[in-house]
């Protein structure tokens, strides 16, 4: 069990940076699958991005085990981050 200060610092880093990347990646993926024009899909993604960010931040501080938090946040971020990059109509040229 990590000490209290280490706990807090790790969770702050996970919440701020992990939360941002995960929220942005999931929102981007959402914008790819919305059946609407490019600008409407982007706006929809942006609309949900902050709601997701808040949800992830709260989850990071609610999970009991630090190890589980890193493991789950990490794998979700890697999966959605990869999807966001690979499926992007701009970032990866076919």
Partner 1 sequence: MKEGFRQSMGWLHTWAGLVVGWVLFFVFLTGTAGYFDAEIDRWMQPERPLAQAAMPADQALALSFERLAKNAPGAERWFVSLPGDREPDLMTFWQMPATADGKRGARGREQLDAATAEPVKARETGGGQLLYRMHYDLHYLPNVAAWWIVGVCSMLMFVAIISGIVVHRRIFADFFTFRPRKGQRSWLDAHNLLSVLALPFHIMITWSGLLFFVYLYMAPLLWTQYGFGEKVQQTFFDEASGRTEDRVARSGNAAPLVPLGPLLQQAQDRMGHSDIRSVDIYNPNDASARIIIRSFAQSPSRERFEIVFHGATGELLRVAKPHSVPVAIWQTLFGLHEGLFAGPVLRWLYFITGLIGTAMIGAGLTLWTAKRRAKIGETFGFRLVEVLNLGTIAGLPVAIATYFWANRLIPAGMAGRADWEAHIMFITWAVLLLHAALRRPLARGWIEQLWLAALACGLLPLVNALTTDRHLGISLPHGDWELAGFDLVMLAFGIGFAVVARYLARRQPRMAASRNFEPARQAGE
Which whole-number Å values give the CA distances from 43 to 6, 23, 38, 90, in the listed order? 38, 14, 9, 17
Which whole-number Å values give the CA distances from 94 to 11, 28, 42, 89, in the listed order? 38, 18, 21, 9
Report the site for partner 1 in 7-36 (rule: CB under 8 A).
Answer: 7-8, 11, 24, 27-28, 31-32, 36
Among 13, 54, 78, 82, binds partner 1 (CB under 8 A): 54
Q: Which two tokens stand for residue 14?
A: 């996970």
Asked if 77 is part of the footprint of partner 1 (rule: CB under 8 A), the reply reads no
Binding site for partner 1 (CB under 8 A): 7-8, 11, 24, 27-28, 31-32, 36-47, 49-51, 53-54, 57-58, 61-64, 84-85, 88-91
């Amino acid at each position: 069990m990590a000490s209290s200060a280490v706990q807090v610092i790790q969770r702050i880093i996970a919440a701020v940076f992990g939360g941002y990347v995960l929220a942005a990646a999931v929102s981007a993926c959402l914008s790819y699958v919305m059946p609407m024009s490019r600008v409407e899909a982007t706006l929809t993604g942006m609309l949900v991005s902050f709601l997701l960010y808040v949800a992830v931040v709260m989850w990071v501080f609610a999970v009991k085990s630090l190890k589980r938090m890193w493991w789950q946040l990490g794998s979700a971020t890697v999966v959605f981050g990869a999807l966001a990059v690979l499926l992007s109509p701009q970032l990866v040229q076919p």
